[in-house]
A and B are shown apart, each in its own frame.
Chain A
């Protein structure tokens, strides 16, 4: 009986597919859990992110039944601040990565498609941007102006887009040489149409990979900035400035520093798992 079923679906018998969890599934699951927690958490929590329990003022208190991850030295609930901060860290990271990927794709596509002096101009500019050391630049800018979230997003995007531009350019260059581009030109399609309909759709795997790399980079950058005190300003928490606040208590109150550090790590690992999995899927199957 089972044999008959196998005969009916020869593909299933030739390529027995063991259920394996690849990076994309694992990464997306992990991200979904983190996203759900940071969206629902603060909403379910009985505390506000800047609500102080005056009785607990003075020094951090360890985890207890009423405060699962303890409180900080100002009597604020660590778990609530952690999840609320995750909203901002993830939102800034995702937005920064989205802007960076968009800009990188546009510039990479133009450079790769047209080649010649346009390529030279755009790619030398990309090289210049890539060679600027990220942190000193950000520190200077953030020192001059107090960054609002929008500005922070743009700042992060400015630092990340060159990587995306390079990756997209190299893919566009190889796609551009294929005959279906020549066929579209022979049919009289314009450059904009060819890029939009024939080149970019086939560069999507590469763009997706660079987007996930960008998300990881953006989350790290946001955390680094906030940790150094140049990002989102307290009392609004982000994972980065939570780490900053936890720094003096590193040994005496590790429940303040470990959770935000772990969540930064987990989120970046999750996004990179997705990116790596996409790359494998693109090349393998």
Chain B
């Protein structure tokens, strides 16, 4: 396994809105975020709305300029990369967007949209492209005749398949899927998730799967990064995190996810109350302390470092060791 994507110390500030003559201070959307994706790996990014998960995806795609930090893709630094270098990277790094209605140009046919991707990177000759477009459409489970249609003639699920075909057209190594299924019906979601999963198996495609749906991430991803108010709360292998979350926030998220069997429903912690604090005025120390059931005075003083027992599984909580062992006692009857 080789390292595809390496993000370190990523910080993104959004300029404050000007109100009359007074300029609001910048809003920190992401703060010191680190993550990596190896080839063929699916990494989930989870968090509530406003946690910065979409910003993270957009920064990696080069759509937002980070304030600080570095992004390396296959060893090439992306922050401040010259356009020519960026173009070469674009072929290896693609995106599938949340809303399949707004991610397809309504004035272009499906075939034209996919062919544009091919043309931009000089893949195939003009004569070969219709055949390639047809093959791509069939690859994502659409009839080749869909090429002549406009997006408005397709259903949401079909449009999302077109979006995937467009991303696949340039044969990328990594796809950033930003809430790629959350706008779809549950029954359609399953089809798209299975398609993405097949693509990983067949093409060795790596994915950064941004989602607020924890159960989907648990089913689909190899590793998870949990974001809260622009900071990484916990990251590690899916199995380890779901079996023994080390951060109170992750625990609350897992407990809040609906379980089909009521007997499996955990009652270990009370559900989270309230909304995340405003990113314009984040709490001191640990940003989660205002909603954390285990917060102590020291949580307001230090920003907890991301640390853990194993290199792969780390959490940003100063009480993670005592809480994890306490939970352990709670769960295992003596």
Chain A residues positioned under 8 Å from B116 (CB to CB): 184, 187, 189, 197
Interface 9-residue window, one of B68-76, B98-106, B237-245, B251-259: B98-106
Q: Does A125 contact B (CB under 8 A)?
A: no
A182 touches B120 (CB 8 A): no
Chain A residues positioned under 8 Å from B108 (CB to CB): 197-198, 201
Chain B residues positioned under 8 Å from A252 (CB to CB): none
A188 touches B91 (CB 8 A): yes
Q: Does B94 contact A (CB under 8 A)?
A: yes
Nearest-CB distance from B328 to chain A (Å)? 44
Q: How far is it, in angstroms, between the C-alpha of A178 and the C-alpha of B108 when the chains are bound?
A: 15
Q: A179-B99, A183-B163, A187-B120 are in contact. Are A202 and B170 (CB under 8 A)?
A: no
B99 touches A187 (CB 8 A): no
Q: Which residue of B lies closest to A188 (CB)?
A: B90
Chain B residues positioned under 8 Å from A198 (CB to CB): 105, 108
CB-CB contacts below 8 Å: B30-88 with A: 58, 61-63, 86-87
A188 touches B121 (CB 8 A): yes
Q: Which residue of B lies closest to A201 (CB)?
A: B107
Q: Does A185 contact B (CB under 8 A)?
A: yes
Nearest-CB distance from B84 to chain A (Å)? 10
Identify which of A184, A187, A198 gathers the most chain B CB atoms within 10 Å of its CB.
Answer: A187
Q: Which residue of B lies closest to A203 (CB)?
A: B107
Nearest-CB distance from A189 to chain B (Å)? 6
Chain B residues positioned under 8 Å from A180 (CB to CB): 102-105
Of B87, B91, B95, B170, the contact of A182 (CB 8 Å cutoff): B95
Chain A residues positioned under 8 Å from B163 (CB to CB): 183
Q: Does B135 contact A (CB under 8 A)?
A: no
Of B91, B93, B166, the contact of A183 (CB 8 Å cutoff): B166
Q: Does A186 contact B (CB under 8 A)?
A: yes
Q: How far is it, in angstroms, between the C-alpha of A218 and the C-alpha of B107 when the chains are bound?
A: 30
Q: How far is it, in angstroms, between the C-alpha of A56 and the C-alpha of B103 when the chains are bound?
A: 71
Q: Does B209 contact A (CB under 8 A)?
A: no
A202 touches B103 (CB 8 A): no
Q: A179-B97, A179-B98, A197-B116 are in contact. Are A186 and B61 (CB under 8 A)?
A: yes
Q: A188-B86, A188-B87, A189-B116 are in contact. Are A183 and B107 (CB under 8 A)?
A: no
Chain B residues positioned under 8 Å from A187 (CB to CB): 90, 94, 116-117, 120-121, 166, 170
Chain B residues positioned under 8 Å from A179 (CB to CB): 97-99, 102-103
Q: A189-B116, A198-B105 are in contact. Are A182 and B98 (CB under 8 A)?
A: no
Count of chain A residues with Cβ under 8 Å from any Cβ of B? Answer: 16
Q: How far is it, in angstroms, between the C-alpha of A194 and the C-alpha of B121 when the chains are bound?
A: 15
CB-CB contacts below 8 Å: A134-165 with B: none
A202 touches B105 (CB 8 A): yes
Q: How far is it, in angstroms, between the C-alpha of A202 and the C-alpha of B108 when the chains are bound?
A: 10
CB-CB contacts below 8 Å: A166-213 with B: 178-180, 182-189, 197-198, 201-202, 204
A182 touches B105 (CB 8 A): no
Q: How far is it, in angstroms, between the C-alpha of A184 and the C-alpha of B63 when the chains are bound?
A: 11
Nearest-CB distance from B295 to chain A (Å)? 38
Q: How far is it, in angstroms, between the C-alpha of A179 and the C-alpha of B63 when the chains are bound?
A: 11
Q: Which residue of A lies closest to B95 (CB)?
A: A186
Nearest-CB distance from A100 to chain B (Å)? 24
Q: A183-B163, A187-B117, A188-B91 are in contact. Are A202 and B107 (CB under 8 A)?
A: yes
Q: How far is it, in angstroms, between the C-alpha of A198 and the C-alpha of B94 when the chains are bound?
A: 18
Chain A residues positioned under 8 Å from B120 (CB to CB): 187-189
Nearest-CB distance from B105 to chain A (Å)? 4
A186 touches B107 (CB 8 A): no
Q: Which residue of A lies closest to B93 (CB)?
A: A186
Q: Which residue of B lies closest to A180 (CB)?
A: B105
Q: How far is it, in angstroms, between the C-alpha of A182 and the C-alpha of B108 when the chains are bound?
A: 15
Q: Which residue of A lies closest to B121 (CB)?
A: A188
Q: Which residue of B lies closest to A182 (CB)?
A: B63
Of B94, B102, B105, B106, the contact of A186 (CB 8 Å cutoff): B94
Q: How far is it, in angstroms, between the C-alpha of A250 and the C-alpha of B163 when the chains are bound?
A: 67
Q: Mark B119-156, 1 if CB is under 8 A from A, else 0.
A: 01100000000000000000000000000000000000
Q: Which residue of B lies closest to A202 (CB)?
A: B107
Q: Which residue of B lies closest to A193 (CB)?
A: B120
Q: How far is it, in angstroms, between the C-alpha of A148 and the C-alpha of B62 when the chains are bound?
A: 52
Chain A residues positioned under 8 Å from B95 (CB to CB): 182-183, 186
CB-CB contacts below 8 Å: B4-49 with A: none
Q: How far is it, in angstroms, between the C-alpha of A202 and the C-alpha of B107 when the chains are bound?
A: 7
Q: How far is it, in angstroms, between the C-alpha of A186 and the C-alpha of B107 when the chains are bound?
A: 19
CB-CB contacts below 8 Å: B160-183 with A: 163, 166, 170
Interface, chain A (partner B; CB < 8 A): 178-180, 182-189, 197-198, 201-202, 204
12 other A-B residue contacts (CB within 8 Å) besides A186-B94, A187-B121, A198-B105: A178-B103, A179-B98, A179-B99, A182-B58, A182-B97, A185-B62, A186-B93, A187-B116, A188-B86, A188-B120, A189-B120, A197-B116
5 residue pairs, one from A and one from B, having the closest CB atoms: A179-B103, A188-B90, A179-B97, A201-B107, A180-B105
Q: List 25 A-B contacts (CB under 8 A).
A: A178-B103, A179-B98, A179-B102, A180-B102, A180-B104, A180-B105, A182-B58, A182-B61, A182-B63, A182-B97, A183-B95, A183-B97, A183-B104, A183-B163, A185-B62, A185-B63, A186-B63, A186-B93, A186-B95, A187-B117, A187-B120, A187-B166, A188-B87, A189-B116, A204-B107
